[in-house]
Amino acid sequence: MKNIWSIARRDFQSYFTSPIAYIVIAGFLAIMGWMFFWSLNHFNIQNMQYMQYGGGKGPSITEAIIRPLYGNMNVVFLFLVPFITMRLFAEERRQHTIALLLTAPIHLTEIILGKFLAAFALVLIMLLLTGFYPIMLFATGNPELGPIVASYIGTLLLAGCCLSLGILFSAMTENQIVAGALTFSSGLFFWLVSWAQQAAGSVFGELLNYLSLTGHYNNFGQGLLHSSDIVFYLSFIGLGLFFTHRVLDSYRWR
């Protein structure tokens, strides 16, 4: 565990010695801040219209703000995660320091987990910075706590899946742009894979629907924590890290 934390701390600090962390965090907060205040303004307008025309109670905070906000947050992470992961191993390969890293008295699994935790910690900080949104909602309204907590958990798990893909492709190439492009395209594939469900037939269509990253997030957005969804995300992350291990292990024996 000590080696894992040492690698994680080194890579996490490296994010802030370059402009990457600052640009990614600033872009993320700017986009999410705009989405939050737009959703809040739209929610207020809708409720005023319901009251004005006697239409009864308007949409709830959960339906009008929380679900779309955190659903859109996952889309933003789909674009930003490649910038977080593209340099983790690609930079080591470009600078020819990966040979020293792989021959160090550290287990390969510790190296991979350390780099994954560094990227995961950056995502966690980005999510913690959005804690202002639920605080503001609780200060001005009466939102449901369950969907907020479940949405954060689901977003962390879904972002972890994208991170595992990013680490895998970063280990496969020394070109950071290529690693980022492959991460985004593969993440988009698993995002949209369920769209082909109806054209694929019943059996294969169910498989495509099961592989969809967004399909397993729907329950989180409703405040439901299903073990099947959690197991899927954890298995996806585990497979991504396992394939990363195989790629680096084959590189070590060349």
Contact yes or no for 229/216 (Cβ under 8 A) = yes
pLDDT of residue 152: 92
Q: How far is it, in rounded angstroms, from Cα 110 to Cα 106?
A: 7
Q: How far is it, in rounded angstroms, from Cα 135 to Cα 39?
A: 15
| Residue range 23-39, pLDDT digits in tens | 999 999 999 989 888 88
Enclosing domain of residue 21: 2-252
Q: Angle 103-108-113 (CA atoms, 0-180°, nearest 5)?
A: 135
Contact yes or no for 76/28 (Cβ under 8 A) = yes
**What pTM did the predictor assign?**
0.88
| Residue range 207-217, pLDDT digits in tens | 777 888 888 88
pLDDT of residue 134: 87
| Residue range 56-104, pLDDT digits in tens | 566 677 777 888 888 889 999 999 999 999 888 887 777 777 667 667 7
Q: How far is it, in rounded angstroms, from Cα 170 to Cα 240?
A: 12
Task: Please give the tally of structural domains in the chain.
Answer: 1
DSSP 8-state symbol, 193: G
Q: Which of 15-24, 101-110, 180-189, 235-244 has the lowest mean pLDDT?
A: 101-110
Structure tokens at 233: 């995300």
What's the mean per-residue pLDDT of the chain? 84
Nearby residues of 19 by Cβ (< 8 Å), 6 or more positions away: none
DSSP 8-state symbol, 35: H
